[in-house]
Chain A
Amino acid sequence: AQKITQTQPGMFVQEKEAVTLDCTYDTSDQSYGLFWYKQPSSGEMIFLIYQGSYDEQNATEGRYSLNFQKARKSANLVISASQLGDSAMYFCAMREGGSNDYKLSFGAGTTVTVRA
């Protein structure tokens, strides 16, 4: 079963506007972590933001914020004031809480294109 689901293959957003990228996850663990990474066309994988399952407040990092709704098992990324440099693929990922489970499971990604 897919652990991370990103239902938006691609999105267009106007420069300076906000965009929300959807991510839902599936786990039976109580302790887990949720991550968002950005992958520009050059290929590198850039860490953006992290949310722990026990964190009571939504994570924020500059223009990035994570809308964490635990009961709905969703962890949507909000990018505010979009810039041309935000055009990239965005991956949602989860690390589950098993003591020997270190890996990240990724969603299929969402391509964001920012228009001037």
Chain B
Amino acid sequence: AAGVIQSPRHLIKEKRETATLKCYPIPRHDTVYWYQQGPGQDPQFLISFYEKMQSDKGSIPDRFSAQQFSDYHSELNMSSLELGDSALYFCASSAAPLGTQYFGPGTRLLVL
């Protein structure tokens, strides 16, 4: 079965640079979620989209923005990167806002 696709899988950036993470949900899933997992931490919710509209917002820094496109893929844009942004970033998708969330493999971001 098709799973959530995330790209890139690994990313190394310098402080103050920008990064764009991409997420392709499972086909026919209309809801996308972004989570950040720091080293040794549990995942923390950043933001979600349902039918291309922002549906919920968590502890996402103002330096980050995200959107969902007409084909339901989503991008997380991160600017002015800081060392503390180094983490595993997950995208998840569900068939409906209250459906089970299936996670992608994650993008491992390292900020130097």
Interface residues in chain A, defined as those with a beta carbon under 8 Å from any beta carbon in chain B:
33, 35, 37, 43-47, 50, 91, 95, 100-109
Contacts and interface: CB of A to CB of B under 8 A. Distances in A.
Interface stretch (B13-21, B62-70, B73-81, B93-101): B93-101
A100 to B, nearest CB: 6
B54 to A, nearest CB: 10
Given A45-B106, A106-B42, A101 B56 contact: yes
B93 to A, nearest CB: 11
A47 B103 contact: yes
Contacts of B35: 104
Dominant secondary structure of chain B at its interface with chain A: strand
Given A43-B105, A44-B105, A45-B106, A104 B100 contact: no
A45 B90 contact: yes
Interface residues of B, number: 25
Contact of B88 (A37, A43, A46, A104): A43
B36 to A, nearest CB: 11
B86 interface: no
B90 A102 contact: no
A45 B92 CA distance: 9
Contact of A102 (B44, B50, B105): B50
A44 B91 CA distance: 11
B33 A102 contact: yes
B58 A47 contact: no
Contacts of B105: 43-44
B103 A103 contact: no
A36 to B, nearest CB: 11
5 contacts: A35-B100, A43-B88, A44-B105, A47-B102, A101-B56
9 shortest interchain CB distances as A-B pairs: A103-B45, A45-B103, A106-B42, A102-B56, A102-B48, A44-B105, A102-B97, A106-B43, A43-B106
